[in-house]
Each structure stands twice: as C-alpha cells, then as structure tokens.
C-alpha cells in the first residue's frame, strides 16, 4: 500500500551543533504530535549516527544523501550500503539532481546503488526529473521514462515495491520557473503508468512517489492532494522545524 511520506534533505547544511539542535527540535515535535505520514530526514553523512540515536524513539527514519555504487574497496570518500546499514539508518537518496549535475551520476550508477541498498534491506529513494532545457523542448516525458526504465526496470516486482521514487522538476528549482500542482501530478501519473506497464497496476499502486519541487508550507496541501503525489522530498523548508512541521501537517489538515 502506498505510504504518505515527508522526507527532509538537509543537503550540505548545518554544523554538528546546529544539526543536533534541529534533530532535538524534530524529536520534540514528533513527541508532541501524531504525524499522519511517515517522516524521514537525510542529514549530512557525518551526522547519521547522531540522528539515529537521537530519533530512535520518535518514529522518524534516517536516510543518507548518497550511497556508493560499490560494495567495498579502494574508493576514498565513498559510503557503502553495508556501512549505512551498520548505523541502523533506513536507506538513502539515490540520483539526486545535484549528484547528477555536479558529480556526473548516471541512471546506470543509480541502478547499481539501488541494488546495493536493496541487498542490505535498505530503502532507496530514487530521484529523477528533467532540466529546464528538456522541459522547454518537450522532452520531459521521454527523459523521465528513460530515467525510470534504466534505473529501475531490471528489478523484480518484489524489489521495485521497496523503492520510493522522488520526482524533481529540476527546471523549477532556482530558475524562477514554477511547477503547478497539475504539472507535478501529470508527471507522477506518467511514472506510475510506466511502472504499471512493466509490472502491473497492483505493483504500481504499491509505490510511493514523492514530489521534490520546492514544497513549502503554503503549497504543500494542494500538492499533496493530487492523486498520484504521495508526499514530498523537502529541501530548504526542512532546515527549520516550524516549516518542516507545517509541511508534515498538510496531510492532516
């Protein structure tokens, strides 16, 4: 069954003490409320262990922001799926647009990372989405189709239902362009239809698809009300507990 999820991606923000403070605030918030969705946070990797320890009794799941395509070896600076598992984290983001843009990550890399996570019993949150140029040239459906097929379609039906997908309209992040809830829904439905064509509708209806296009407290409710949008991958608004809480509460309002 599809789950509603709000996941905060902190990116490269917060020093150790700021991270500790934010995690403590999130812990306090979840203790004093009953979120109507699953809540996840993806702090910088240095803080994974602290986050797991602080949030242990909160129900909030901890993710890393990336994982290696390799299982072990001479790969300086990389973090393997087994290392993530050893810290009792829940899973990892894979294929975030910034990893693609700045580190040359491809859908094939993503496929290997997803498989490594699944082998360790962890949850991949696979990010896809088109750029402004691709959107303007009308390639967005094809781009997302290719990303989905290359990264995911070598998985079995039993495996793919363990993946969460996060659609990021890269063209609407920091460009001055705006993606409407209807445009987001259109692509989310496209992704679910692609999965249904490969694995059947029952499988497609099991997979949560999140929206990663600048979700904020004032637009979260309308975005989350779309039929095929199951939550959000939150960037800047996840760095302040007040904004993050308001987005979480969009599912109960």
Q: 241-248 vs 16-31: helix axis angle to the nearest 10?
A: 40
> Residue 190: exposed, middle, or buried by beta-carbon count in 10 A (0-12, 13-18, 19+)?
middle
User: C-alpha angle 56/59/61, rounded to 5°?
Assistant: 80
3-state SS, one letter per residue, for 218-236: CCHHHHHCCCCCCEEEECH
Asked if 40 and 68 count as a contact pair (C-beta separation under 8 A), the reply is no
Phi and psi of 231, rounded to 5°?
A: 145, -165
For residue 187, what are its two tokens? 């692509």
Q: Which of 38, 96, 109, 130 is labelled catalytic?
A: 96
Active site residue 70: no
* Catalytic residue, candidates 98, 105, 130, 168: 168
What length does the chain have? 253
Residue 42, token pair as written in the block:
């993806």
Binding site for substrate, by residue number, is: 9-11, 174, 214, 235-236
CA 85 → CA 81, 117, 120, 121, 127, distances in Å? 6, 9, 7, 8, 20
Active-site residue 149, yes or no?
no
Phi, psi of 92 (to 5 degrees): -155, 150
Annotated binding site: 9-11, 174, 214, 235-236
Give me the active site residues, please: 96, 168
């Amino acid at each position: 069954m599809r789950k509603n999820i709000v996941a905060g991606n902190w990116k490269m923000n917060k020093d150790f003490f700021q991270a500790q403070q934010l995690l403590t605030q999130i812990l306090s918030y979840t203790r004093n409320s009953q979120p109507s969705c699953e809540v996840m946070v993806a702090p910088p990797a240095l803080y994974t262990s602290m986050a797991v320890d602080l949030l242990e009794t909160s129900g909030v799941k901890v993710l890393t922001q990336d994982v290696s395509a390799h299982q072990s070896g001479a790969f300086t600076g990389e973090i393997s799926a087994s290392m993530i598992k050893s810290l009792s984290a829940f899973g990892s983001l894979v294929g975030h647009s910034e990893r693609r843009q700045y580190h040359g990550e491809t859908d094939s890399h993503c496929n290997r990372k997803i498989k490594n996570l699944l082998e360790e019993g962890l949850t991949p949150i696979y990010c896809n989405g088109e750029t402004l140029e691709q959107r303007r040239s009308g390639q967005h459906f094809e781009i997302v189709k290719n990303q989905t097929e290359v990264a995911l379609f070598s998985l079995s039906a039993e495996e793919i239902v363990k993946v969460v997908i996060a659609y990021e309209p890269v063209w609407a992040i920091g460009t001055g362009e705006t993606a409407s809830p209807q445009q987001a829904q259109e692509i989310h439905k496209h992704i679910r239809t692609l999965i249904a064509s490969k694995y059947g509708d029952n499988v497609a209806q099991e997979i949560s698809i999140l929206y990663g296009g600048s979700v904020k407290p004032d637009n979260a409710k309308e975005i989350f009300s779309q039929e095929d949008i199951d939550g959000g991958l939150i960037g800047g608004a996840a760095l302040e507990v007040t904004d993050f809480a308001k987005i979480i509460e969009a599912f109960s309002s």
